[in-house]
Amino acid sequence: MKTILTTAAVLMAATTAMADGHSSMTPMVKAMDQDVSNGVVSAEMITAGENGWMVVHRTDAAMKPGPVVGYAPLRAGENHDVAALLQEDVASGDMLMLMIHSEAGGVTPGVFEYTLGATEDGPIKPDGKLVMATITAK
């Protein structure tokens, strides 16, 4: 009987979490190293708590976000196959950081307004940590 009660409790908790909607989703970025010679970089899946942006930053071994080289809009919830057009050439071996940015703080909704270090459409930081994945261009 104890096992049945535990299973029922787990199912009830999972159902409750799904019923809460997007606010209970943990933001995350899932992406792999990829060929970007076609001028596009993509994430397999991004989970966002609100509408926002997948922003592509240059980076290196120091893992500090650098200049923005592309971006794509995100909807609240799960986003699959999110593709961003690269705005400059990215060479094989270059490292890119695919990061979730908010839509908050900008002047015009639906327009990406972030510049490096700005607060408009800036990165989200749950628990003080950036939500991102780093890939290497092939």
pLDDT value at position 21? 44
In a domain, 57, yes or no: yes
Other Cβ atoms less than 10 A from the Cβ of 120: the count is 17
In a domain, 34, yes or no: yes
pLDDT in tens, 83-92: 999 999 999 9
pLDDT value at position 42? 98
C-alpha span between 15 and 36 (Å, rounded): 39
Angle ∠(56,57,62) on CA atoms, nearest 5: 140
By residue range, what is the domain housing residue 114? 25-136
H helices present in 1-137, as ranges: 2-19
In a domain, 10, yes or no: no
C-alpha span between 63 and 57 (Å, rounded): 10
Distance of CA 85 to the CA centre of its chain: 15
pLDDT value at position 130? 97
Tokens read off for 106: 């900008």
Please identify which residue in the block is written with the tokens 């930081």: 125
Helix/strand/coil for 67: coil
pLDDT value at position 118? 87
Question: Looking at the DSSP assignment, which residues form a beta bridge with residue 41?
Answer: 84
In a domain, 15, yes or no: no
In a domain, 33, yes or no: yes
In a domain, 110, yes or no: yes
- CATH number for 36: 2.60.40
Tokens read off for 70: 């592309």
In a domain, 19, yes or no: no
Residues of the chain with pLDDT under 50: 1-23
pLDDT value at position 78? 98
State the total domains in the chain. Answer: 1
In a domain, 123, yes or no: yes
Predicted TM-score of the model (pTM): 0.82
pLDDT value at position 117? 83
Contact present, 133 and 87 (Cβ < 8 Å): no
